[in-house]
Amino acid sequence: MKILGIESSCDETGIAIYDTEAGLLADHLYSQVELHAEYGGVVPELASRDHVRKIVPLIQQTCADAELTLPDIDAVAYTAGPGLVGALLVGSCVGKSIAWALDKPAVEVHHMEGHLLAPLLEADKPSFPFLCLLVSGGHTLLVDVQALGQYQILGDTLDDAAGEAFDKTAKMLGLPYPGGRYIAELAEQGDDQRFKFPRPMMNRPGLDFSFSGLKTHTRVTWEQAREHCTTEAEVQQLKADIAASFQLAVIDTLSKKCLRGIKQTGHRQLVISGGVSANLSLRETLGQMGAKHRFKSFFPSLKYCTDNGAMIAVAGAMRFMHKDVPQDTLIKAHPRWSLEALS
């Protein structure tokens, strides 16, 4: 069975064709990062308009690469939420219209379920049940995954998401948006022991997260230490040391909460997904922690950590094969949509 996957929830247009027998046949991604760069964040109206421009040519290109035409597709999966309403509506309109024109089923996909299932695109994949850390620009969730669609949120962020904290810290240091990968690059030249930043919520029981205190602490440290720099080289070293100390605090917090979640649930598999899971230090730390505490970590390959169409296609395929997918002709978007509502 061949599924066309469409992702347009934020600033990436992602298209993929996934075959349940042969795996991923083709996928394309168009990132709007340059469009939004001068504003330091995503401008929703510009995002929607750019999805409108790019979505159909990308679908045509993906079909050509997979050496098939639209009538060869068995179902169309698209991100119906959560995300920016205008951006979601572009993917929903196109997805539903193609499905209707081909007289094939349309499958609404929850964006975070797409991230959660992205490691299933890999050769070495997890099996249900598992614990999942979803870390993106908008979410930081620890989820007990019992089966497809059976999700219990064990931990959530009380304020900023982990990716948001990376992005805001990057902006403060004058790095481009979205800043997670630039913080990670800068951190490689820095001393992560120079500053001991707080590990939020670690002294309290439970699995919730909070990153706004860390962000404020980082800002105050940066502003005070910058005053004492006398050369440009010192400023650059300070930036690298701040990036490294900040990154270590985030990774330490995320990984220790994962270990707590593993002990609480008894799962032996941990899935880490979403944009921040592209962070190599986080991957290394969780890999080492797993070796020590006898659990196995699964990550998507780097290109499928951030938003993409392949994860939507695979999630759509699983939903279609294992769940009832009601069909109607209404085009809907769910900008706010809890993962637990899928259960």
Q: Where on the chain is the footprint of ligand KG4 (CB under 6 A)?
A: 10, 136-138, 163, 166-167, 178-181, 184, 274-276, 278-279, 306-307
Between 190 and 300, whose beta carbon lies closer to Zn ion?
300
- Residue 98 CB, nearest distance to ligand KG4 (Å)? 24
Distances in Å between the Cα of 24 and the Cα atoms of 28, 79, 93, 219 are: 11, 18, 24, 43
Task: Name residues whose C-beta falls within 8 Å of residue 98's C-beta, 6 or more positions apart in sequence.
Answer: 4, 59, 70, 73, 76
- Residue 111 CB, nearest distance to ligand KG4 (Å)? 6
d(CA 140, CA 66): 34
- Which residue has tokens 């698209």? 78
**Neighbouring-strand partners of residue 5:** 16, 77
Q: How many CA atoms lie within 13 A of 215 on its CB side?
A: 18
**Neighbouring-strand partners of residue 324:** none
Between 81 and 290, whose beta carbon lies closer to Zn ion?
81
Residue 218 interacting entry, from Zn ion, ligand KG4, none, C-beta within 5 to 8 Å by type: none
Pick the stretch among 24-32, 39-47, 210-218, 301-309 that binds Zn ion (CB under 5 A).
Answer: 301-309
Between 84 and 201, whose beta carbon lies closer to ligand KG4?
84
| Residues 168-227 within binding reach of Zn ion (CB under 5 A) | none
Helix H or strand E encompassing 135: strand 130-135
- Residue 73 CB, nearest distance to ligand KG4 (Å)? 25
Residue 180 interacting entry, from ligand KG4, Zn ion, none, C-beta within 5 to 8 Å by type: ligand KG4
Of the candidates 283, 194, 169, 181, which has an alpha carbon nearest to the alpha carbon of residue 245? 194
- Residue 64 CB, nearest distance to Zn ion (Å)? 26
State the CB neighbour count (10 A cutoff) for residue 27. Answer: 25
Interaction of residue 27 with Zn ion, rule CB under 5 A: no
Residue 297 interacting entry, from Zn ion, ligand KG4, none, C-beta within 5 to 8 Å by type: none
Among 8, 92, 136, 169, binds Zn ion (CB under 5 A): 136
Peptide linkage before 176 cis (omega within 30 of 0): no
Between 6 and 63, whose beta carbon lies closer to ligand KG4?
6
Residues 155 and 206: beta-carbon distance below 8 Å:
yes
Write out the residues near Zn ion by the rule CB under 5 A. Answer: 136, 307
